[in-house]
């Protein structure tokens, strides 16, 4: 039991209670009248929200932390859909205020004031539906009791659920998302839980229970006479939660890893003075050696670290704390894993550009001629080098294409779209005559899945050249004879432009 009475007796099959760090707040300040006014103003402005976000989307669900860009744990229900996410400033500011904003957000969890964001049940990909989800730590008794109570209530309204999803009833269907819905999502972002009252699609797992039940459960979990200390205690508990390795895979074990990453991010954001040293020491102890493609060695490395190494580094790499930056630089220098190298690069200061450039070039030079997957890790290394070092990256790009494999041509075609379109014509034009096939296909008629034909190297690079130079037209549709005519026209234009 922790200082505020949080009991942790219900150990799940995949996670267990760890040794919780003992950190106390020396001083806890309540929101000043000025901050309180700001919080209330931001909540009032939630009525203006008109754009989808994590937990408020018809196509995407998951956990985000709005104040820190790039830290998203999303689940795309429609992975090829343009999700059009847009986080409002008021939403972001409320998450940033964190524990100070929680008491005020709790008061609005039942607020039915409409926003400009609508729920739908029209069958479209952008439809949102009423529903509930309550993320939790499986070892936290208070949370598990609340989750159990919610599922018991869901079981009592199974008949109502059927009528909602299959055509009868459902007062909230087609209605706007409310301030209460948005407030619930904000609370979830602050505490590191997925609290959802609108869902991207209806299933029997996400039942539209009485909305006040979820609001009551959340208040019961987080309300306290000392909300800030209660919140820190929960983060420390999540950070100490350990995965139980099944001896074969990371299935289930991942639950603890995700809890730790989300907790570390929030600890550094809300309580940097108290927790930066703790997290820096953890970074210093991580095994960051490459596993040479051996899945067994990779699994054992992650289990030894107690967390998915790359995810943990990415969760804290945004921090400006000197101790965190120091350890990230040390990881960048000592790791032999390209993906961990890239995760640490996020926070490598420009004063360390010489080291950064040397290490990126070193890892690119060590890449095999053919990597697994459509692009391989080389894609990310090249993008990082091109975006950070501009024209200085060109010699490396050129070397990468010497005697290039199919995968390298595909990787470079996509790298140039993300970094230096102005090099596409020069670097990719030699492959306009390369008719080797990738094993991928394209549709002959846009918008129709069948019939299909194989994609060739020349098609891939022609498409990139065209996108980088609108004057060189190319459309990946029609029979290959049509593609060949377009490619020949591009080659003639390029040849005519050269002295």
> Residue 86: which domain range?
15-24+32-230
Q: Is 367 helix (H, G, I), strand (E, B) or coil?
A: coil
Instruction: Please check whether residue 39 lies inside any domain of the structure.
Output: yes
Instruction: Please check whether residue 301 lies inside any domain of the structure.
Output: no
pLDDT at 406: 92
Instruction: Please check whether residue 382 lies inside any domain of the structure.
Output: no
Instruction: Please check whether residue 498 lies inside any domain of the structure.
Output: no
Are the CB atoms for 303 and 245 separated by under 8 Å?
A: yes
Instruction: Please check whether residue 181 lies inside any domain of the structure.
Output: yes
Reported pTM: 0.81
What is the 3-class SS of 362-413, one letter each residue?
Answer: HHHHCCCCCCCCCCHHHHHHHHHHHHHHHHHHHHHHHHHCCCCCHHHHHHHH
pLDDT at 133: 62
Question: What are the pLDDT tens digits along the chain (499 aa)?
Answer: 333 333 333 444 789 988 889 888 877 777 889 999 999 999 999 999 876 544 443 333 446 898 997 654 444 333 333 334 456 899 999 999 999 999 999 999 999 999 887 654 443 333 333 344 678 888 888 888 887 877 766 555 443 443 333 333 344 445 678 899 899 999 999 999 988 765 444 433 333 445 677 888 888 888 877 888 889 999 999 999 999 999 999 999 999 999 999 999 999 999 999 999 999 999 999 999 998 767 889 999 999 999 999 999 999 999 999 999 999 999 999 999 999 999 999 888 888 899 999 999 999 999 999 988 888 899 999 999 999 999 999 999 999 999 999 999 999 999 999 999 999 999 999 999 999 998 899 999 988 899 999 999 999 999 999 999 988 999 999 999 999 999 999 999 998 766 5
Report how far residue 388's alpha carbon sits from residue 356's, in angstroms, rounded to the nearest whole number.
9
pLDDT at 64: 81
Tally of domains in the chain:
1
Instruction: Please check whether residue 131 lies inside any domain of the structure.
Output: yes
Q: Which two tokens stand for residue 345?
A: 């690069």
Instruction: Please check whether residue 304 lies inside any domain of the structure.
Output: no
Instruction: Please check whether residue 162 lies inside any domain of the structure.
Output: yes
| 396 upstream amide cis, omega within 30 of 0 | no
Q: Which of 83, 61, 65, 16 is nearest to 205 (CA)?
A: 61
Q: Is 75 helix (H, G, I), strand (E, B) or coil?
A: strand
Q: Which two tokens stand for residue 70?
A: 């790039």
Q: Which of 434, 416, 436, 433 is nearest to 425 (CA)?
A: 416
Are the CB atoms for 130 and 163 separated by under 8 Å?
A: no
Classify each residue of 376-391 as buried b or exposed e, where b means 16 or more C-beta atoms within 10 Å of its C-beta.
bbbbbbbbbbbebbee
Write down how long the chain is: 499
């Amino acid at each position: 039991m922790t200082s505020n009475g949080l009991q942790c007796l219900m150990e799940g099959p995949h996670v267990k209670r760890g040794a919780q760090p003992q950190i106390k707040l020396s001083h806890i300040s309540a929101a000043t009248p000025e901050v309180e006014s700001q919080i209330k103003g931001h909540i009032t402005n939630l009525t203006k929200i008109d754009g989808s976000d994590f937990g408020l989307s018809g196509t995407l669900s998951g956990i985000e932390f709005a104040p820190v860009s790039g830290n998203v744990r999303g689940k795309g229900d429609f992975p090829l859909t343009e999700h059009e996410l847009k986080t409002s400033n008021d939403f972001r500011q409320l998450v940033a205020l964190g524990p100070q904003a929680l008491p005020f957000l709790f008061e609005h969890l039942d607020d039915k004031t409409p926003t400009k964001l609508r729920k739908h049940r029209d069958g479209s990909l952008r439809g949102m539906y009423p529903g509930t989800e309550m993320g939790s730590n499986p070892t936290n008794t208070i949370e598990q009791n609340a989750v159990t109570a919610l599922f018991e209530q869901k079981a009592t309204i199974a008949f109502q659920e059927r009528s909602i999803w299959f055509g009868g009833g459902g007062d909230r269907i087609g209605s706007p998302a409310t301030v209460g819905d948005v407030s619930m999502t904000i609370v979830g972002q602050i505490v590191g839980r997925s609290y959802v009252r609108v869902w991207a699609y209806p299933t029997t797992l996400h039942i539209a229970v009485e909305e006040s039940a979820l609001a009551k459960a959340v208040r019961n979990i987080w309300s306290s006479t000392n909300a800030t200390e209660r919140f820190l205690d929960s983060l420390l508990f999540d950070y100490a939660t350990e995965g139980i390795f099944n001896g074969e895979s990371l299935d289930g074990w991942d639950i603890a890893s995700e809890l730790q990453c989300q907790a570390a991010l929030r600890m550094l954001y809300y309580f940097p003075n108290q927790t930066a040293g703790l997290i820096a020491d953890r970074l210093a102890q991580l095994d960051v050696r490459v596993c040479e493609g051996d899945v067994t060695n990779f699994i054992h490395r992650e289990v030894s670290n107690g967390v998915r190494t790359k995810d943990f580094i990415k969760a804290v790499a945004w921090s400006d704390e000197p101790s965190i930056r120091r350890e990230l630089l040390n990881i960048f220098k000592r790791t032999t894993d390209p993906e961990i190298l890239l995760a640490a690069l996020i926070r490598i200061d420009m004063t360390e550009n010489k080291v950064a450039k040397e290490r990126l070039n070193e890892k690119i030079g060590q890449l095999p001629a053919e990597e697994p997957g459509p692009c391989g890790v080389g894609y990310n290394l090249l993008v990082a080098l091109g975006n950070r070092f501009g024209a200085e990256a060109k010699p490396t790009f050129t070397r990468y294409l010497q005697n290039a494999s199919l995968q390298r041509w595909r990787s470079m075609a996509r790298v140039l779209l993300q970094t230096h379109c102005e090099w596409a014509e020069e670097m990719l034009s030699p492959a306009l005559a390369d008719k080797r096939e990738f094993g991928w296909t394209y549709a002959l008629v846009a918008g129709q899945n069948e019939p299909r034909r194989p994609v060739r190297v020349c098609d891939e690079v022609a498409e990139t050249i065209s996108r980088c130079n609108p004057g060189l037209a190319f459309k990946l549709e029609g029979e290959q004879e049509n593609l060949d005519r377009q490619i020949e026209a591009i080659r003639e234009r390029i040849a005519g432009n050269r002295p």
